[in-house]
Amino acid sequence: MNKPWQVILVLIGIFAAGGVAGGFVTLRVCKDKLVNRPVPEEWAPRHLKRLHDRLALTPEQDELMRPIVKRNMEHLNRIRNSSLEETKTVVEGMQREISANLTPEQRAKFEQMNHEMREMREAREKAEKAKRANAGRPEDGSRPPRDRPPGAKPPPSPPDKPPGH
């Protein structure tokens, strides 16, 4: 390989392969983050846990924080829902305007494209709905343990071995 253009061509190929591989890794990571994002029902419990763990809150502080976080997370969810409705209205208007300026062939392709995107959104919403239904449940699908009143001690664990053995 004594010709400089061959070296340049090989380097460009290596660079392109790295770019393609990096793109696939980025898509995979972003998709995982999007699929595993918390649903609104998980916002308050996650935030309360983060506050408790990072700030070493006392049980009394936990009880003070719970209604504050709950109230504000509910407010954020209402804002999110109204924003989603407004976004949907704007997108539908944009699609009508675009469709009005397309040829019949383009319009058919555009409608197919929108149909595919709608199916993907519905699948994502269905997954979120299933996640909401299982929010707070352990991975095995069993029900979570019942919450105890503040300050109540957990029931004693059964001994591993019967006494005297």
Q: What is the pTM of this model?
A: 0.47
- Residue 155 reports pLDDT greater than 80: no
CA angle 57, 146, 135 (to 5 degrees): 80
Give the confidence band of 7 by pLDDT, cuts at 50, 70, 90.
confident
Rounded Cα distance between 21 and 131, Å, is: 31
pLDDT digits (tens, 9 = 90+) for 76-122: 989 988 898 899 899 999 999 999 999 999 999 999 999 999 998 88
Handedness of CA 31, 85, 67, 154 (dihedral sign): negative
CA angle 103, 104, 105 (to 5 degrees): 90
Q: Where are the domains of the chain?
A: 16-132
